Amino acid sequence: MKRRTLLPLSDYQRIYQVIYSVLEASGIAVTHRACIFFALVGANILRTHHALSATISAGCMALMVDEQQANVVVYGRDENGIFVNNETAFHAWVECDGWLIDFMAPIMGVALRQDGIDWPVPRRMLQKHLDDRKNSLGEIQQVGEFFVNHDHALTESLIDGQGVQFLDLMNACVTWYRRPPKPLREIALADSHGPTKKLTLRAPSIDGVW
């Protein structure tokens, strides 16, 4: 039986759109490479606005995105037949009440295309119960099936490496966000290199669920 997700699609999409839009307005990071930012801010929003005990995790992840072509998106690398991660090959996501929530999933196709992988990856919500994860890459057979492995040392290193500018952007996201159907607050993003920018949603819409 299919599980009911922890977050409704409307809440997930609002969080994804807020994070995406703030990053795009800031111009300080490549949005489709900012998995740490998506995870840390997503977890903070869930704790602040949804009263959920959300945490960040980082490590290996794999997800089947096309069953007919057997296309599996992999965050990590193969080392002598073992799926591993390091500081340059990893992904970050949120864990909460036994769920994996990846707020960056709707734009994973953008990063793939930049890497020269022209797979048709739809913009979908990714929420998966951790009990449903596979034990290895080889067990992934159907679309939406996934594997993850949390690297505690890497996660702590990534969290400790965030600077003041990151915290300012995270606070902007948390301040701007409101749970649907409430309208977003009207706020502006300060820019040390130019005029203050009024924040508007600019993220591509989600068109399905993994």
Q: What is the pLDDT of residues 46-95, one digit of tens each?
A: 999 999 999 999 999 999 999 999 999 999 887 766 777 777 789 999 99
List Cβ neighbours of 79 (8 Å cut-off, separation of 6 or more): none
Question: What's domain 9-209's architecture?
Answer: Roll (3.10)
pTM: 0.93
Tokens encoding 196: 């203050």
Angle at 103 between CA 77 and CA 62, to 5 degrees: 25
From CA 107, how far away is CA 112, in angstroms rounded?
Answer: 9
The domain ranges of the chain are: 9-209
pLDDT in tens, 173-209: 999 999 999 999 889 987 655 568 889 999 999 999 9
